[in-house]
Amino acid sequence: MPTETERPSSAAPTYDLAAYRARIPLLTSLIPMNNCSQAPQTDVTRAAAERYLDSWNQSGMDWDAWVEEVQLAKGEFARIINASADEIAVFSSVSEATSAVASTIDFAGNRNKVVVTEAEFPTIGHVWLAQERRGARVNWIPVRDGMIAPDSYHAVVDERTAIVSACHGYYLNGFTQDLARIAERAHAAGALLYVDAYQTLGSVPVDVRATGADFLAAGNLKYLMGIPGIAFLYVRRELIEQLHPLMTGWFGRSNPFAFQVKQLDWSATASRFDSGTPPVINAYVARAGMAIINEIGVGDIRRWLEVLGQRLIDGGRERGLTLHGTPDVSHKTASTAFVVDDSHAVELLMRRRGIVPSARGPVIRLAPHFYSTIADVDTALDVLASVVGAR
């Protein structure tokens, strides 16, 4: 817990906001409130991409350094969730990571049930539904009023459940779930827990050891300050050697550079989930983006985002906007959603007035990040209220 002096006042976070803002060129022309979709570019993420391009240009090829960069990116991701680099695998998307996890599960026997929440990003539901051809039976945890009741897992998770698939944060309105509680229920029934933490990592503290998740995946383009084309998967160390993903490739071997075409051995680390040549330039950018988050500290970021989140909830209410989901900031990601008539039209109109929100289905999401100010939040709310009122 922060001491009284470390606690952010309603006006400023504990870190140097102005210094970080100076590193994001976009802030001179727009107010990005779309971090639930895509974080803005920073000086260091741009420089990281250029480092790869320079290396390619100057050396022609430097696979040792490029593969090392992927390893360093795994380490940076591991720091965010209190894991070790050897518990991390790399993919190009969360969909791929989820499919790889699903492929390790044998659905032929009695334990063939997959428990999935209705709050998952659609791709997660699709991956599990695709397993029905392999014998899986998908059961859903319902969303009611934009939230999931914590005890709804009790009736559904049982001794036939192979895996529970739960998002940490709901992409639509930012509602967050208590992962430790879900893990406890899953493990009591002998099931595994897979977590999609794409909407929380970088803005909500996650400690995989404390939560007890067996798998946790996230991509990089939201609160981790990165780009599309790369995602990471944590696999709990004690499980690694029992798992044999059906999606595999040479980077999943104990020594990828041994080139034994007839020998399918498995890396002793989570690298056994790696497949082919990794997304190298994406790893450069991803590491740089995650390094900013680790440098500031997710705890300090979260404290500031709770101040901004409360401002969004209160300010939305004062302006007559309709909140989607919970008004409890302690159970929300950094994203606050308001119900609107035509979200894509609203997004377009807001962009014209200098705000970048994120439209999704029935809502407009306002998702600040560590660099956002109270003035940003107030301006975004004013513009949203005026656009909605004018329509």
Ligand X SMILES: Cc1ncc(COP(=O)(O)O)c(C=O)c1O
Which one of 52, 77, 198, 370 is in contact with ligand X (CB under 6 A)?
198
Q: CB nearer to ligand X: give 14 or 220.
A: 220
In terms of Cα–Cα distance, which of 115, 89, 124 is closest to 197?
Answer: 124
Q: Residues near 247 by Cβ (< 8 Å), separated by ≥ 6? A: 96, 99, 100, 103, 275
376 touches ligand X (CB under 6 A): no
Which one of 107, 171, 284, 304 is in contact with ligand X (CB under 6 A)?
171
> How many residues lie near ligand X (CB under 6 A)?
12
Tell me how far apart the alpha carbons of residues 184 and 204 are, in angstroms, rounded to a whole number: 20
Which one of 76, 196, 214, 347 is in contact with ligand X (CB under 6 A)?
196
- Tokens linked to 41: 């570019």
Q: CB nearer to ligand X: give 337 or 387.
A: 337
Distances (CA, A) of 17 to 137, 222, 230, 295, 368: 49, 19, 28, 13, 13
Q: CB nearer to ligand X: give 36 or 340.
A: 36
Tell me how far apart the alpha carbons of residues 182 and 168 are, in angstroms, rounded to a whole number: 10
- 199 contacts 257 by C-beta, under 8 angstroms: no
- 168 contacts 195 by C-beta, under 8 angstroms: yes
Which one of 42, 99, 199, 211 is in contact with ligand X (CB under 6 A)?
199
Q: CB nearer to ligand X: give 156 or 216.
A: 216
Q: CB nearer to ligand X: give 302 or 365.
A: 365
Range 339-342 contact pairs with CB under 8 angstroms and sequence separation of 24 or more: 339/363, 340/364, 340/384, 340/388, 341/388, 341/391, 342/391
Window of 106-114, 193-201, 261-269, 374-382 that interacts with ligand X by CB under 6 A: 193-201
Q: How far is the CB of 96 from ligand X (least distance, A)?
A: 7
Q: How far is the CB of 194 from ligand X (least distance, A)?
A: 12
Which one of 167, 296, 312, 355 is in contact with ligand X (CB under 6 A)?
167
Tell me how far apart the alpha carbons of residues 148 and 54 are, in angstroms, rounded to a whole number: 48
Residues 74-113 that bind ligand X (CB under 6 A): 93-95
338 touches ligand X (CB under 6 A): no
Q: Residues near 133 by Cβ (< 8 Å), separated by ≥ 6? A: none
Q: How far is the CB of 199 from ligand X (least distance, A)?
A: 5
Which one of 103, 123, 152, 386 is in contact with ligand X (CB under 6 A)?
123
Q: CB nearer to ligand X: give 34 or 161.
A: 34
Q: How far is the CB of 100 from ligand X (least distance, A)?
A: 12
Q: CB nearer to ligand X: give 281 or 349.
A: 281
Q: CB nearer to ligand X: give 99 or 372.
A: 99
Q: How far is the CB of 85 from ligand X (least distance, A)?
A: 21
In the chain the first and final C-alpha atoms are separated, in Å, by: 45
39 touches ligand X (CB under 6 A): no
Q: CB nearer to ligand X: give 84 or 93.
A: 93
Letters for 229-248 (x = contact with ligand X by CB under 6 A, - = none) are --x-----------------
Q: How far is the CB of 225 from ligand X (least distance, A)?
A: 15
Distances (CA, A) of 61 to 209, 243, 288: 38, 33, 21
Q: CB nearer to ligand X: give 91 or 153.
A: 91
Which one of 56, 121, 250, 266 is in contact with ligand X (CB under 6 A)?
121
Binding site for ligand X (CB under 6 A): 93-95, 121, 123, 167, 171, 196, 198-199, 219, 231
